[in-house]
Every structure is written in structure tokens, then in C-alpha cells.
Amino acid sequence: MNDMRLGTIIDISLVDVPGIPVTVIFTAGCNFDCPYCQNAELIPLDSGHERTPEQIAKEAQGHLTDGYCITGGEPTIYGDLPELLRLLAVDEEKHINLNTQGSVPRILEQSMPYLDSVWLDFKTIPEKYQEIARTRRDPWPKVEESINMLLDSDVAFWPRTTYVGTLMTPDDIAGIMEALSRMGFKGSYLVQNYRASDGTRPDEVKGFTAPAVEELESAVASPPTGIEIRLEWR
């Protein structure tokens, strides 16, 4: 896809990039359909409003922040994403962060020269990726390609998982850490809890439960060497 679609822009956020106040750009449209998505209104490919990279950059610039967080939806479904990032990177002092699920490594690769950090949403263990993402083809090989690309780069790579107790088990978290370790990742891995919000689809999340942090005690007790697991229960 080339024409970008914009959901909304938040002038300032203090929580999306650790320690850095950023302007948040929500692109619209996603190639995944995760049932617990908390920005579900941005999943449809025709959601949001059509914008050029120049229009989005102009609207996002000028706020008293130290950078930008581009999230969605899934920003990498748009071929014009690298151009948007190039326009935002004109101010070299600004930190540029991308949120992605990693399913479009070709666009991610083109975006890398402009990125300082990437939050990658590691959805589940490799074997369950298609089940959770509800895609026609298994997206894991593309996600794995994106992760390896990030690990070989100078871009800060921050993997994270939303733990949905109804869909996941502690063994899944252990399996994700093992997969990261096999790929050579060393660093902090964030696990945050699913919680109901206005952004979810009521018919999709009916019966979902907010997990208790105690569920993960066994999984986090002995992480692979070099991986620090961080639990963020909200």
C-alpha cells in the first residue's frame, strides 16, 4: 500500500517512549486482526483519512516534544512510511520511534535509516502466530526476518508482549523468551497485561480475563541468559 491513512495525532505523550516526551502519530489500517486489539477502530484498511507524508509531517511537527512515536494500526503496510520518517528526521535532535508487529520487513528495512528505536509487538510463540493474528498466511517468517534485521542494526530494539490470560499461558511467555534468545537477543523484554478498554471490540473480548501477575511467576523465574523480563501490570 502506498497512500497513507491517518487515524489521529496526539500532541504529547510521556508514556510511549521511555523517558522521552513524544508526539504520537497513529496510522490507520492493519494487516493483523488480533481479537484483543485496543485500537480496533484502526484495523480496517479504509479507516482513518487519506494523507500524504507531507501533510502528516506538517500536522505532527511544531509541538514541544523531543521526538515522535509512529504507531497504528500497522505503519509498515504503507510504502510511503520511509518518506514520512525522512521528513520527521529533518530535525536530527528528535528521537524517532516506530511501533510495529514486524510483518512487513521490506518497509521496515527502508525505514531503518531514520529510526532510533522500535517497539516490536511479539504477539505469541511462533507456532501460534497465525492463530492470534488471524491472517490468511502464517506471518511468523516475516516477523522473524524483521527481528533478525533489528538485531543486526544500531536501532534500539524493544520487544514486548500483551499477555491475554484467555489466549496465552505462562509457557507461551517462556517460549517467546526462548525464541528471542535463539535469535541472539539480549536486553529487556516487556510483558504487559491485557485489560479491557474502550478501544476493544466488545463481541471479540467477551470472556477475556485480565490476568494476574502471579500467573507468570514460574515463567519469569529463570529467563534465558542475557534477557531481563519486565512486567508492567496496569
Average pLDDT of span 4-25: 98
Domain ranges of the chain: 4-232
DSSP secondary structure of 153-180: SSSEEEEEEEE-TTT--HHHHHHHHHHH
DSSP tally for the chain: helices H, then strands E: 8, 9
Give the model confidence (pLDDT) of 148-159 as tens digits.
999 999 999 999
The CA dihedral of 212, 216, 220, 222, to the nearest 10 degrees, is 140
Give the model confidence (pLDDT) of 68-95 as tens digits.
999 999 999 999 999 999 999 999 999 9
Give the model confidence (pLDDT) of 189-229 as tens digits.
999 998 878 899 988 888 887 788 888 887 788 899 999 99
| 3-state SS assignment for residue 119 | strand
Whether residue 54 is predicted with pLDDT greater than 60 in this model: the reply is: yes
* CATH classification (class only), 4-232: alpha beta
Q: pLDDT value at position 2?
A: 57
Cβ(141)–Cβ(83) below 8 Å:
no
183 phi, psi to nearest 5 deg: -80, -5
Whether residue 234 is predicted with pLDDT greater than 80 in this model: the reply is: no
Whether residue 104 is predicted with pLDDT greater than 70 in this model: the reply is: yes
Whether residue 66 is predicted with pLDDT greater than 60 in this model: the reply is: yes
The grid coordinates of residue 136 equal 490468511
Q: Which residue has the cell 520511509?
A: 82
Average pLDDT, the chain: 95
